[in-house]
Structure 1
Amino acid sequence: MRQNRVNVEPLPRVIIMTTPTASTQKLTPLLFLERSAAVYPHRAACIYNGAVTTYALFYERVCRQAAALRSVGVGPGDRVAFLLPNLPSMLEANFGPMGIGAVLVALNIRLSPREIAYILNHSGSKVLVFDSELADTVRQLRDDCPGVETYVQVRDTTPLATDIPGPEYEQWLASVDPLPELLGPATENDTLTINYTSGTTGMPKGVEYTPRGAYLNALGEAMEMGMNWRSIYLWTLPMFHANGWCFPWAVTAVGGAHVCLRRVEPAEVYRLIREESVTHLCAAPTVLTGLYAAPEAASADLSGLTIMTAGAPPAPQVIRTVEGMGAEIIHVYGLTETYGPCTVAAGQPDWDTMDSEDLARVKARQGVPFIVYGSGLRVVDEEMADVPRDAETMGEVVMQGDAVMKGYYDDADATAEAFRGGWFHSGDLAVRHPDGYIELQDRSKDIIISGGENISSQEVEKVIMEHPGVLEVCVVGVPDQRWGEVPKAFVVPRGGGQLTADEIIDFTRDRIAHFKAPKSVEFGDLPKTATGKIQKYILRDKEWQGQERRIQGSQV
């Protein structure tokens, strides 16, 4: 633990939010920060590059950020954007704007200037706080964003860009007195944050979170991951992605320590796990494959580490490999529209007696709702009737309750379409097992329909991942004159090894129906998002360029 490195700062005035009545309270993540600052004032809240910020100081810095935003004209309901990697300033941004009732817009640092400009304009953001390494991106978008009135630079590894007017972040905070209290949003159903989707089928949509939803989902994360005040959480998941799956609030809720990480590099991840005694982290399956494929994995001991994985269904092979290094995998599922994860492959007593292969198989299912969400999860057909629990009949996953977004910002039509029938439609296809656990088969747009037969690309991917020479794989439907479309596999060999297409095809045909096996294989790197999720649409669009997608006998 890090207590011997922490200096004791004077405890700032902590205002515990008052309740509207004796029996109710406005639910907001600010309650987590206020409680931890009061209960754990000298506990490490944030660790970065060897520097430690206690909860007392973390609270004060959030109050300063809120005051600095107010000093440049930000008020309740105004949107403020942050373009930052996983730095302490980004962690503070998950509390500062809400402290004055403003709305956080966290931006993906890998987006193009055009995409960022669209989000800034669509959200109406008045302030942009950005890392100085991204100054060139900001230069290219400034003329296209007249509504952004203030630019603030965070200096970390790159000198300030002197040609972009505006204060440096630390000087900006120092220029104001911290607010004496954080009042927060007016109601627990106000818009707290806006998270923009990837925009793979058009321009990105702004997903609105509420204080109530964020509060409850953060509690669900902490409970399902088994966190407490001794927890030390490593930021391998971008905070700009669905507000870091609500973990800025979840870790703070239990008084745990945030270990910030600018870039996910395997050697640095393993060093921090070892030197900071990391207990928890989140990562997409492709990030996990990158970690266990790194040279440092050979000597790594992940005993005592709990990893939550989501973003794409993990192959059982990925779960077996990482748990073989000593970690415990918790597989969850969700979308940006559900505050990140909202279901979990919850463990059962009989899992303790399973061998590693069977255990990985059941853990690879998406599971059941988080404990705070009750029964708001269904798998339904086109008539909104529940599909049988036979592990075979596919339907769409729909959700309802506090786990679901408020709506799409300034897009009533898209909101109405997503909420048709009173449930949020995920677009994901799944089966339901007799025990009630759901298992994804595919996104509706990723199902391959070959000669009238439905093929789950994820089923084929899981089989190919069992090949010892495969590190990663993506399967999409490609044009075929006879069948309309057929599976094609894009494979990343493990360790740069040599594989042949026939080897992959034969391996797959030996394990599943021949019509499901890929008809062709291409080797090379895979396109990915900032969170490590494979971008299937890029591969699919390349294959279908100039051709009309012709589906024969769709059964969906």
Structure 2
Amino acid sequence: MPKYVCEHDYTRESFSQQLPPANMVPPPLPDHSFAVYVSGNTGVPPSLDFYETHLLHRPRSERFRTIHADSPPSFDATGDFMNLSRLYEDALLAGPERPCLIVDEDVLTYRQLHKTTLANARALQCLGVCPGDRVAFHMGNRLDIAPLCFGCFYIGAVAAPLRCCDTAPELARAISDCGAKILVIGKEQLHTLPAVREQSSGLEQCFVIGGDPAGKVPSWEEQTLGGACDPPPPHVSADNDPAVVIDSPTGADVPNSATHSAHSLACRARDYAATLKLAGDTRFLTAATLCHGAHLAGLLLPIALCGGAVICSRNQEPHAMHWLMRRWRPTYANLPPGLLRAMLDAPGFDPALYAGLTALYVDGDKIPPDLDSDYAAKTGGQLRKAADMSKCGG
């Protein structure tokens, strides 16, 4: 397996086959240098912008890192430098070209995730977003959701994802309730924007991902390409600093949002990764819409922590799920019982698609009593009750 040593003091970059002894004491590092040791089947390490942005802003004691590609994630949710964008740090170092998020045929690697996270963080900073400010986003499954979310974490802003199935009054109430001044919306949801703007209080700026045919709403892609602001240093979060606002469906006029801290989300991600035994080769298929705080916290964060990939679709139909299984060969899946039933009964059902699943979790409380036996008869596997995959803890 290739092993690399990367030492950088702004004048040199070197790679070596020699790793330090296991008991090596971290070397004394000047103000503008760091040392990173990467071992395992990693491929080529990330470019130096990762090390510069993630390591040089830390205390000197944290600038000496040893990363093992096949070891469990080492993210410390109680460290002196707490930032949720660090969840994918070991994954990026160990396998920068591994997929992080797959939406149909579109793939976002960890290297691309990091690059676009910094671009989103810079764009938010240029708009005057400060730590603690709320940023709402409303879109279907698309690659943009991950870097936008991590971009919020990077600068200490609070991500406020909104459910795609909400009506305009429900969206307006959720935006007003969380206090968001910025909304990033997918082009497929643009039809709700006029009513949302009219009915929400405090919303100041709106951007669209994917383009506005009428040309009236500014493009978020153009905003992230702007270079007026330098990339900010990662925000250092306290344990109780808010990170995600999750809105629950209780009607358009009833506020019911919950704010979750960076510390609680980090601990939850670490617990999920350990409980489900997630690893760098994990490919987790979900029928969920990721633009929801619970799904981001309960699925995307633990998968990013372990270096695996989330697989989802813009189309939650049986044929779309089977296409994803055939194309990407997931190792885990989390599906609602109604969709799983339709998949089992679909024309041309192929049990071989399910053979590679380590576990298939069924989400929801209303699981038909015969679903487990039917699944076993058709695939030879056993269903598991979803371990709160759609919840994110306190």
For the 8 Å contact 2:244–2:293, the answer to whether it is kept is no
1:255-404 equivalent positions in 2, closer than 5 A:
255-297=307-349, 301-305=353-357, 306-324=359-377, 325-334=379-388, 339=392, 403=393
SS, match of residue 47 in structure 1: strand
The amino acid across from 1:281 in the alignment is A
Question: Cα distance 1:202–1:314, how it changes in 2: closer, same or farther (>3 A)?
Answer: farther
- Once the two structures are TM-superposed, the CA of residue 19 in structure 1 deviates from its matched residue by 6.5
- Taking the aligned partners of 2:45 and 2:325, their CA distance within structure 1 comes to 25
Question: Cα distance 1:131–1:20, how it changes in 2: closer, same or farther (>3 A)?
Answer: same
- Once the two structures are TM-superposed, the CA of residue 327 in structure 1 deviates from its matched residue by 4.6
- Taking the aligned partners of 1:189 and 1:149, their CA distance within structure 2 comes to 27
Question: Cα distance 1:265–1:104, how it changes in 2: closer, same or farther (>3 A)?
Answer: same
- Once the two structures are TM-superposed, the CA of residue 180 in structure 1 deviates from its matched residue by 4.5
Q: What corresponds to 1:37 in structure 2? A: 92
Q: What corresponds to 2:257 in structure 1? A: 206
- Taking the aligned partners of 1:218 and 1:73, their CA distance within structure 2 comes to 29
Gaps of 5+ in 1: 1-5, 340-402, 406-556
Query: Among residues 97, 113, 122, which one is paired with 2:177 in the alignment?
Result: 122
Instruction: Provide Cα deviations, 1:65-110, integer angstroms capped at 9, x if missing partner.
Output: 1111111111111101110112111122331111111101110111
1:183 aligns with 2:234: yes
Q: What corresponds to 2:23 in structure 1? A: none
Q: What corresponds to 2:291 in structure 1? A: 240
Aligned residues: 331
For the 8 Å contact 2:160–2:244, the answer to whether it is kept is yes
RMSD: 3.0
Question: Cα distance 1:136–1:7, how it changes in 2: closer, same or farther (>3 A)?
Answer: farther
1:107 aligns with 2:159: no
1:11-160 equivalent positions in 2, closer than 5 A:
12-14=49-51, 15-16=54-55, 18=58, 25-26=79-80, 27-155=82-210, 160=212
Give the TM-score normalised by the residue count of structure 2.
0.75
1:458-469 equivalent positions in 2, closer than 5 A:
none
- Once the two structures are TM-superposed, the CA of residue 191 in structure 1 deviates from its matched residue by 0.9
- Once the two structures are TM-superposed, the CA of residue 178 in structure 1 deviates from its matched residue by 8.5
The amino acid across from 2:374 in the alignment is T
- Taking the aligned partners of 2:127 and 2:381, their CA distance within structure 1 comes to 46
For the 8 Å contact 1:32–1:249, the answer to whether it is kept is yes
- Taking the aligned partners of 1:113 and 1:189, their CA distance within structure 2 comes to 31
Question: Cα distance 1:79–1:173, how it changes in 2: closer, same or farther (>3 A)?
Answer: same
- Once the two structures are TM-superposed, the CA of residue 49 in structure 1 deviates from its matched residue by 4.5
- Taking the aligned partners of 1:41 and 1:98, their CA distance within structure 2 comes to 20
- Taking the aligned partners of 2:61 and 2:256, their CA distance within structure 1 comes to 36
- Taking the aligned partners of 1:54 and 1:177, their CA distance within structure 2 comes to 26
For the 8 Å contact 1:284–1:312, the answer to whether it is kept is no
- Once the two structures are TM-superposed, the CA of residue 203 in structure 1 deviates from its matched residue by 1.5
SS, match of residue 263 in structure 2: helix
Gaps of 5+ in 2: 1-42, 63-75
SS, match of residue 130 in structure 1: strand
Instruction: Provide Cα deviations, 1:270-322, integer angstroms capped at 9, x if missing partner.
Output: 01111111112222223322322322435653012222222325234222333
For the 8 Å contact 1:88–1:260, the answer to whether it is kept is no
SS, match of residue 94 in structure 1: helix
SS, match of residue 50 in structure 2: coil
For the 8 Å contact 1:283–1:310, the answer to whether it is kept is yes
Instruction: Provide Cα deviations, 1:180-229, integer angstroms capped at 9, x if missing partner.
Output: 46524521211110101111697141111111111121122222323210
- Once the two structures are TM-superposed, the CA of residue 333 in structure 1 deviates from its matched residue by 4.9
Q: What corresponds to 1:382 in structure 2? A: none
SS, match of residue 192 in structure 1: strand
Question: Cα distance 1:30–1:59, how it changes in 2: closer, same or farther (>3 A)?
Answer: same
Instruction: Provide Cα deviations, 1:110-165, integer angstroms capped at 9, x if missing partner.
Output: 1111110111111111111111111111122212235222211111xxx6242533
Q: Which structure has the larger Rg?
A: 1
- Taking the aligned partners of 1:326 and 1:200, their CA distance within structure 2 comes to 42
- Taking the aligned partners of 2:255 and 2:348, their CA distance within structure 1 comes to 37
SS, match of residue 312 in structure 1: coil
Higher mean alpha-carbon deviation, 172-181 vs 262-271, is at 172-181
Question: Cα distance 1:317–1:71, how it changes in 2: closer, same or farther (>3 A)?
Answer: same
- Taking the aligned partners of 2:59 and 2:365, their CA distance within structure 1 comes to 40
The amino acid across from 1:99 in the alignment is Y
* Identity score, percent: 21
1:227 aligns with 2:281: no
- Taking the aligned partners of 1:221 and 1:258, their CA distance within structure 2 comes to 14
The amino acid across from 2:143 in the alignment is P
For the 8 Å contact 2:103–2:141, the answer to whether it is kept is no
- Taking the aligned partners of 2:104 and 2:322, their CA distance within structure 1 comes to 15
- Taking the aligned partners of 2:313 and 2:157, their CA distance within structure 1 comes to 26
For the 8 Å contact 1:107–1:116, the answer to whether it is kept is yes
For the 8 Å contact 1:154–1:170, the answer to whether it is kept is yes
The amino acid across from 1:140 in the alignment is A
- Taking the aligned partners of 2:267 and 2:273, their CA distance within structure 1 comes to 10
- Once the two structures are TM-superposed, the CA of residue 250 in structure 1 deviates from its matched residue by 0.8
- Taking the aligned partners of 1:200 and 1:335, their CA distance within structure 2 comes to 24
The amino acid across from 1:12 in the alignment is D
- Taking the aligned partners of 1:178 and 1:331, their CA distance within structure 2 comes to 47
- Kindly indicate whether structure 1 or structure 2 has the higher relative contact order, using CA contacts under 8 Å at least 6 residues apart: 2
SS, match of residue 80 in structure 1: strand
Instruction: Provide Cα deviations, 1:323-345, integer angstroms capped at 9, x if missing partner.
Output: 44245533135497x51xxxxxx
For the 8 Å contact 1:63–1:180, the answer to whether it is kept is yes
- Taking the aligned partners of 1:202 and 1:96, their CA distance within structure 2 comes to 30
SS, match of residue 353 in structure 2: coil
For the 8 Å contact 1:18–1:25, the answer to whether it is kept is no
Q: What corresponds to 1:398 in structure 2? A: none
1:170 aligns with 2:221: yes
The amino acid across from 1:317 in the alignment is D
SS, match of residue 282 in structure 1: strand
Question: Cα distance 1:57–1:28, how it changes in 2: closer, same or farther (>3 A)?
Answer: same
Instruction: Provide Cα deviations, 1:29-53, integer angstroms capped at 9, x if missing partner.
Output: 3222222222222222233443433
